[in-house]
Amino acid sequence: MDIEFFLKERNKFSLYFYEKASKPFIETMLSIENEKDPYIPPYSEDGEPPFLAEWLEARDGLNSVGLATISMLSSAIQLFLSCWADRIESKDHRLDRKGNKGWLNAYKKITMDFGVDYSKCPASLDIIEQTVLARNRTQHSEEITSHRISHSKKDLSKYPSPYFISDEDLNRISSQQPESWWMMPDIHIDHTKLKAVILEIEKYCSWLESEYERLLNAKYA
């Protein structure tokens, strides 16, 4: 089975899903910002931006689409690695696919034990790991009062300049000490970041496939 092909098909659908599902939320936000019908502001002296509730609702919808897409990409990586490991597992040699540092590190150890040299990996494993961490945060919300999903202090201690963050939040945390943060920055996902993540995932998986073939051929040479 060509597992790399099916990984790419999953990634293609994930990006398609994001582009189609995000469109109405983006259009609503732009219509409000540009005061287009039906969001032409009425006369008011209360000082609050018109249609603020509608804009925030659309923003939360857009963020939710991004978080759902990240979960899809994380699942694609896990399924690919599971299939990769299936080929080297036997009844007499069971592989630990979980590990106490998470499944991504467990699979990394499996591939290393098979002979994969990560010093030659062309992909950004930091971005791939942050994709998995973002997915984990999405699946384990902490606040019932909000739709926002934020980075954890633990994740920020490992990645103080996280990939999934807005420019505004990045500037804010860069100017503060971690202990002074009164609010953790949100996980921010957009179309550009998703395309970059998919590129790194496919680069990583393509390289693992070439490593598998190389090591297999060396074993039976």
Judge whether residue 188 has pLDDT over 90: yes
pLDDT of residue 176: 62
Section 131-136 average pLDDT:
95
pLDDT at 100: 76
Q: What is the pLDDT of residue 221?
A: 55
Task: Tell me which residue range forms the domain holding 23.
Answer: 3-219
71 alpha carbon, distance to own chain's centre: 7
Residue range 206-214: mean pLDDT, rounded: 95
Burial of 17 (0-12, 13-18, 19+ CB in 10 A): middle
> How do residues 157-182 score in pLDDT, each as one tens digit?
899 889 999 888 888 777 665 555 56
What distance in Å separates the CA atoms of residue 52 and residue 59, rounded to the nearest whole number?
Answer: 10
- Give pLDDT tens digits for 61-117: 999 999 999 999 999 999 999 999 999 877 667 888 887 789 999 999 999 999 999
- Closest among 172, 140, 139 to 156, alpha carbons compared: 172
> Could you give the percent of the chain with pLDDT greater than 90?
65
pLDDT at position 181, please?
Answer: 57
User: How many domains is the chain partitioned into structurally?
Assistant: 1
Task: Read off the pLDDT band of 219 (50, 70, 90).
Answer: confident
pLDDT at 4 over 80: yes
Q: What is the pLDDT of residue 105?
A: 94
Rounded Cα distance between 54 and 155, Å, is 32
pTM assigned to the model: 0.89
